[in-house]
A = this chain, B = another copy of it.
Amino acid sequence: MESGGFFKSNVMNVAKSIKKTGKDDPRRVIHSLKVGLALTLVSLFYYSRPLYDGFGVAGMWAVLTVVVVFEFTVGGTLSKGLNRGCATLLAGALGVGAQHLATAFGKKGEPIALGALLFILVDDRTFLRFFPRIKARYDYGVVIFILTFSLVTVSGFRVNEILELAEQRLLTILIGGATCMVVSILVCPVWAGQELHNLVASNIQKLANYLEGFQAEYFHCIQDKQKSKSSLQGYKSVLGSKASEESLGNLARWEPGHGGFRLRHPWKQYLKLGALARECAYKIETLNTYLNPEIQECMELKCKFEEPCKIMSSESSKALKAISSSMKTMTAPSAAKCHIENSKTATKLLKVALETISLEDAQLRAIIPVATIASILEEITKTVEKVYDSASELSNLAHFKNVESNVSPEKQPPHLLHRGMVNPLVVDIANNNNNNNNNNKNNIDQIEINIHDIISSESPEKVENAPPKSCAENAQSNSCAVVNIIVCH
């Protein structure tokens, strides 16, 4: 009874696991059916007598080709199929040549000459596999080359009908390979290029989700704790995405044009963009260590940094989201431009805040976590700009549609500097710093002051004198304009 129960629960577990794997990506189930279809199609050649008479035992090679060549993506199937075909052709020709060469050594010398030749060629080819570029693109071809060359030189020594054998093998491989390619392309194709495109876009989306969740979590303006927790974990998968991006990039080269992708789509640019997204993820990983409620923080400084930090993270998040969604629609990421500008403005705001805050009462120990978060957020903002530049380059290279002219001015995201919401105004009431006087002046000059944009409903002094507790409420009621007017004492 007990072992029966154990068996039953085990079977249930396996069934659940299979169901989950199928549910996670239904294309996996379809892929299995596709392989079965291709194999059955090729078997038909073998089962029907007239074809069998034509091909003989070589028909087995067609089956073998299907099993080995059929991959999940079209690029994978094409890469393996073409590698296999070309390598067989080349190795077959070289093998026949080697045979002719070996006969010159007489009956006794022939096996020795062939053995030596085999040894030399196999060595060279095996060594070739250690070159990264060859390993990535032609690894399978090199294996098949060695295989075929060995088989031809070895079998040729016995059979004496190499050319006929070669013809048979090439034809059957052609049938097997062609079946794979046709089934792979026509029945629910999975394009490696499309996969790479989606992977990079979704990675950028994950980074955006983190920054959005970070802002909510750190500044406690959080509605759904559970949702935020999951959005704060998503970026982890970006950290280790290098290998899959590179392998998809290599497979995508083999694919013909499909959907919005032409034959010579700039796949290399996706790898660059992916590397920048990972660079951003590394910084987020460090930022994440400071998202610890146990760290003692200077509330006053946190309150003063709240607005620039919120803007940096939310605008960077919006920029990344705009880049990701423009990739999904294959349009130029022009919608992100405005958010990039806003986040840059926020770094200026942060600089102004840094210039002017006096921390006479604050403890350095409590300042550091807040300062570190602000500093890392600034670095993330810089990386997001690099991501934007790289995405723009991709859009140019891949001739993505330019939607800038199609969007009406009202629909464009608001530009913070023109909305008059967070434009930094530095009112130099009294400059009692003696040493840093020159520095201050220079930095203030760099900041655009546009006094007409300021909402003048509340006086700057009032904000400065407001108790620190009210800053969260201030932010929630969207009266950002006031918070951002900084007064230099």
Known: A150-B67, A368-B371, A375-B369. A115 touches B35 (CB 8 A): no
Q: What chain B residues lie within 8 Å of A363 (beta carbons)?
A: 354-355, 436, 439
Instruction: Scan residues 360-385 of chain A and give those whose CB is less than 8 A from a CB of chain B.
Output: 360-361, 363-365, 367-369, 371-372, 374-376, 379
Of A119-127, A197-205, A210-218, A392-400, the segment with at least 4 beta carbons within 8 Å of chain B is A119-127
Interface residues of A (CB under 8 A from B): 17-18, 21-22, 25, 28-29, 31-33, 35-37, 39-40, 43-44, 46-47, 52, 57, 59-60, 63-64, 66-68, 111, 115, 118-120, 122-124, 126-127, 130-131, 143, 146-147, 150-151, 154-155, 157-158, 239-240, 242-243, 278-279, 282-283, 285-286, 289-290, 296, 351, 354-355, 357, 359-361, 363-365, 367-369, 371-372, 374-376, 379, 435-436, 439, 443
Q: A127 touching B158 by the CB < 8 A rule?
A: no
Q: A126 touching B365 by the CB < 8 A rule?
A: no
Q: Quick one: closest B residue to A158, CB to CB?
A: B52
Q: What chain B residues lie within 8 Å of A372 (beta carbons)?
A: 368, 371-372, 375-376
Q: What chain B residues lie within 8 Å of A374 (beta carbons)?
A: 368
Q: Quick one: closest B residue to A14, CB to CB?
A: B131
Q: A151 touching B64 by the CB < 8 A rule?
A: yes
Distance to closest chain B CB from A121 (angstroms): 9
Copies of this chain present in the complex amount to 2
21 A-B Cβ contacts within 8 A?
A: A32-B122, A35-B122, A36-B119, A36-B120, A39-B150, A40-B119, A47-B157, A60-B151, A63-B147, A64-B151, A67-B147, A68-B143, A239-B278, A239-B282, A296-B439, A351-B365, A357-B364, A359-B364, A360-B360, A367-B371, A371-B372
Distance to closest chain B CB from A283 (angstroms): 5
Q: What chain B residues lie within 8 Å of A57 (beta carbons)?
A: 155
Q: A354 touching B365 by the CB < 8 A rule?
A: yes
Cα separation A435 to B360 with both chains bound (whole Å): 12
Q: What chain B residues lie within 8 Å of A360 (beta carbons)?
A: 360
Q: A115 touching B67 by the CB < 8 A rule?
A: no
Distance to closest chain B CB from A250 (angstroms): 14
Cα separation A43 to B157 with both chains bound (whole Å): 11
Q: What chain B residues lie within 8 Å of A242 (beta carbons)?
A: 240, 243
Q: Quick one: closest B residue to A357, CB to CB?
A: B364
Cα separation A33 to B242 with both chains bound (whole Å): 32
Known: A36-B119, A67-B147, A283-B286. A21 touches B126 (CB 8 A): no
Q: B239 touching A143 by the CB < 8 A rule?
A: no
Cα separation A141 to B384 with both chains bound (whole Å): 44
A29-B127, A44-B115, A285-B286 given; 7 more Cβ-contact pairs under 8 Å: A21-B127, A43-B150, A46-B158, A360-B360, A368-B371, A368-B374, A372-B376
Cα separation A40 to B372 with both chains bound (whole Å): 63
Cα separation A39 to B359 with both chains bound (whole Å): 76
Known: A32-B123, A35-B126. A355 touches B351 (CB 8 A): no
Q: A123 touching B36 by the CB < 8 A rule?
A: yes
Distance to closest chain B CB from A471 (angstroms): 18
Q: Quick one: closest B residue to A443, CB to CB?
A: B365
Cα separation A6 to B68 with both chains bound (whole Å): 39
Distance to closest chain B CB from A155 (angstroms): 6
Distance to closest chain B CB from A65 (angstroms): 10
Q: B36 touching A126 by the CB < 8 A rule?
A: yes
Cα separation A68 to B436 with both chains bound (whole Å): 71
Known: A354-B365, A365-B351. A126 touches B286 (CB 8 A): no
- Cβ 8 A contact of A354, one of B124, B146, B359, B364: B364
Distance to closest chain B CB from A114 (angstroms): 8
Q: A47 touching B435 by the CB < 8 A rule?
A: no
Distance to closest chain B CB from A308 (angstroms): 12
Cα separation A369 to B376 with both chains bound (whole Å): 10
Cα separation A22 to B376 with both chains bound (whole Å): 42
Q: Quick one: closest B residue to A145, CB to CB?
A: B67
Q: Quick one: closest B residue to A286, CB to CB?
A: B286
